[in-house]
């Protein structure tokens, strides 16, 4: 068992809150957020996000977890600071917005420069080494920065940390290539590589200690390689989603039984029956931005597949929109904005892009989304009564089917074949 380690976590989204909950089983954790309502809920042992295991652990477990708005106070005494601040990729400017991460780093350096910072946010390949160069040029004397990619699902974030597929921690390593000479020199000036390698092993031990699963595969590698693992892993998942969506498109166009084809394909053990349920496209926190960021990283590298994965998602949403329009609806009802079963998150959900396409086509839309209290969403009317919603809609569009729609199944357009994600 590790000695007591003081931990702060910057950000309480799926990544930050699941890590904070995991580590607070055995160590004191301060969770930092900028939204007062989220902080108040956490201090009442209530989860601000929908996640069965986070909700259960907050309510039932003895956790040493305190939430605060005061980042400086939380970081001042911490040994490890996990950075789970939001990032976003802007495809128009080909720019990955990481300023929230650097805001945290700047604050940590001002109050506790000896702390070890572990970035958990999604970032472009090469970002961490660029920070060593940036802060060395700024005159910083010491930077203790690691990167540990997160592999979790929305609404199952804590479960995926309790039973992780693997643990990966990247630390600064010198690269024997003249192209990285300036970065190497910066790392040598402001980083203690051997100490950070040891810190990487301690952080991995913290994650293993909090997990239920035993014998977790654990890898230590350079920071660039760790960053690449995250982007390539998520892009592969997007590839799999896109593959089965295009299979489903073919079946729908040709009048074939898509479910039968997918089942037959999946029984090959090299392919498997997982992650094969058609949808309106991949969405959520990571896959859309990670695929586009990886494609941006490929600017000077030959590729076909990576670009196709990004393009395929748009093609799928165009096709879904076309299929809905063939019904000549006067009013389309969108059932749930969320992307996954059991989730209350609809950030970058594919159905929103379908809605946008329908609006451009001049179709009137209403939304049923029980997590919304507002009467409108992005200028579209929100109907709070399900019975009214079903009655007024000519076509009901559902990325994922639900039992409460079976009484109006003749109105429903969905490509959910298996009733799961």
Of 57, 54, 14, nearest to 33 (Cα)? 14
Yes or no: say if 405 and 412 are a contact pair by the CB < 8 Å rule: yes
The pLDDT tens digits of the residues spanning 322-381 come to: 999 999 999 999 999 987 666 666 777 899 999 999 999 999 999 999 989 999 999 999
Q: DSSP code of 9? A: E
Domain 258-413: CATH superfamily is NAD(P)-binding Rossmann-like Domain (3.40.50.720)
pLDDT tens, residue by residue, 222-242? 999 999 999 999 999 999 999
Distance between CA atoms of residues 36 and 24, nearest Å? 21
For residue 344, what pLDDT is reported? 64
Tokens of 243: 């593959």
Choose the weakest-confidence range: 2-16, 91-105, 384-398. Answer: 91-105
How large a percentage of the chain has pLDDT more than 70? Answer: 97
What pLDDT was estimated at residue 169?
Answer: 98
- Return the active site residues: 286
- In this structure, what DSSP letter does residue 285 have? S
Average pLDDT over residues 182-192: 97
* Distance separating alpha carbons of residues 228 and 131, to the nearest angstrom: 16
Q: Where are the domains of the chain?
A: 7-216, 258-413
The two structure tokens encoding residue 137: 């040029």
End-to-end Cα, the chain, rounded Å = 37
**What percent of the chain clears pLDDT 90, i.e. is strictly above it?**
88
Contact 277, 418 (CB under 8 A): yes
Q: Provide the mean pLDDT of the chain.
A: 95
The pLDDT of residue 69: 98
Helix axes 258-266 and 223-254, enclosed angle (nearest 10): 140
Tokens of 62: 């003895």
For residue 285, what pLDDT is reported? Answer: 76
Of 37-46, 282-291, 373-382, give the lowest mean pLDDT range.
282-291
Q: Name the pLDDT band for 155 (thresholds 50, 70, 90).
A: confident
Q: Sorting pLDDT into bands at 50, 70 and 90, what band is 90?
A: confident
Query: How far is Cα 266 from Cα 277, in angstroms, rounded to an integer?
Result: 11
Cβ proximity of 63 and 21 under 8 Å = yes
Give the pairing type, strands 65-68 and 29-32: parallel
pLDDT tens-digit series, residues 243-258: 999 999 999 999 999 9
Q: Let me know: does 420 contact 340? Beta carbons within 8 Å.
A: no
User: What integer is the mean pLDDT of 59-67?
Assistant: 97
Which pLDDT belongs to residue 286?
A: 84
Query: Class assignment of domain 7-216?
Result: alpha beta
Residue 341 has a pLDDT of 66
């Amino acid at each position: 068992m590790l000695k007591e380690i003081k931990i702060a976590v910057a950000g309480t989204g799926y990544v930050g809150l699941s890590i904070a909950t995991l580590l607070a089983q055995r160590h004191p954790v301060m969770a930092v957020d900028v939204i007062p309502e989220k902080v108040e809920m956490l201090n009442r042992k209530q989860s601000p996000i929908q996640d069965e295991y986070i909700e259960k652990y907050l309510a039932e477990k003895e956790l040493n977890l305190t939430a605060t708005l005061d980042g400086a106070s939380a970081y001042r005494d911490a040994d490890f600071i996990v950075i789970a601040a939001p990032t976003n990729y802007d495809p128009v400017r080909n720019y990955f917005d990481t300023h929230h991460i650097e805001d945290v780093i700047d604050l940590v350096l001002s109050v506790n420069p000896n702390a070890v910072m572990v970035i958990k946010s999604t970032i472009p390949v090469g970002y961490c080494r660029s920070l060593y160069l940036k802060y060395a040029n700024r005159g910083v004397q010491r930077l203790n920065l690691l990167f540990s990619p997160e592999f979790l699902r929305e609404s199952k974030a804590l479960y995926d940390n309790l039973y992780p597929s693997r643990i990966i921690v990247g630390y600064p390593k010198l690269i024997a290539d003249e192209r990285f000479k300036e970065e190497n020199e910066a790392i040598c000036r402001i980083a203690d590589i051997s100490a950070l390698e040891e810190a990487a092993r301690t952080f991995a031990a913290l994650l293993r200690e909090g997990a239920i699963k035993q014998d977790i595969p654990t890898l230590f590698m350079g920071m660039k390689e760790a960053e690449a693992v995250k982007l390539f892993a998520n892009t592969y998942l997007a590839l799999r989603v896109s593959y089965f969506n295009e299979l489903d498109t073919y079946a729908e166009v040709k009048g074939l039984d898509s479910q039968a084809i997918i089942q037959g394909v999946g029984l090959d053990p090299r392919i498997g029956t997982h992650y094969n349920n058609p949808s309106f496209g991949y969405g959520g926190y990571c896959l859309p931005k990670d695929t586009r960021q990886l494609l941006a990283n490929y600017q000077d590298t030959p590729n076909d597949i990576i670009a196709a994965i990004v393009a395929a998602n748009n093609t799928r949403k165009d096709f879904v929109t076309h299929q809905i329009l063939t019904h000549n609806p006067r009013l389309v009802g969108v059932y749930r904005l969320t992307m996954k079963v059991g989730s209350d998150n609809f950030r970058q959900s594919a159905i929103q892009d379908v809605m946008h396409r329908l609006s451009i086509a001049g179709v009137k839309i209403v939304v049923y989304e029980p997590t919304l209290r507002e009467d409108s969403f992005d200028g579209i009317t929100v109907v709070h009564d399900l019975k009214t919603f079903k009655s007024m809609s000519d076509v009901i569009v559902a990325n994922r089917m639900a039992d409460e729609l079976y009484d109006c199944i003749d109105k429903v357009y969905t490509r959910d074949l298996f009733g799961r994600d």
